[in-house]
């Protein structure tokens, strides 16, 4: 189960990064700022191990 959750989280992270690139294709400064926000949010929650909390964060 842990690998399933890990793959879901990584998939979500990559999807967010890909979508940010499409949204901010013409504005590199805003893109970089937004990427940092996403990275910080994922780093802040990387130690979460409780399945219910992880599910809450994914939704």
pTM: 0.68
Residue 2's pLDDT is: 64
Task: Say yes or no to pLDDT of 26 above 90.
Answer: no
Residue 28's pLDDT is: 84
For residue 5, what are the contacts with CB-CB under 8 A and spacing of at least 6?
A: 51, 54
What residue spans define the domains of the chain?
2-58
Task: Assign 43 a pLDDT band (cuts: 50, 70, 90).
Answer: very high
Task: Say yes or no to pLDDT of 1 above 60.
Answer: no
d(CA 34, CA 17): 9
- Displacement of CA 21 from its chain's centroid (Å): 13
Please identify which residue in the block is written with the tokens 């990559």: 14
If one counts every other C-beta atom within 10 angstroms of the C-beta of residue 1, the result is 6
Interval 10-18 mean pLDDT? 89
């Amino acid at each position: 189960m842990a690998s399933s959750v890990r793959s879901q989280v990584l998939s979500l992270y990559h999807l967010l990064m890909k979508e940010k690139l499409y949204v901010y294709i013409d504005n590199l400064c805003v893109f970089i700022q937004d990427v940092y926000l996403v990275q910080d949010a994922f780093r802040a929650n990387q130690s979460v191990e409780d399945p219910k909390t992880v599910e809450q964060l994914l939704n």
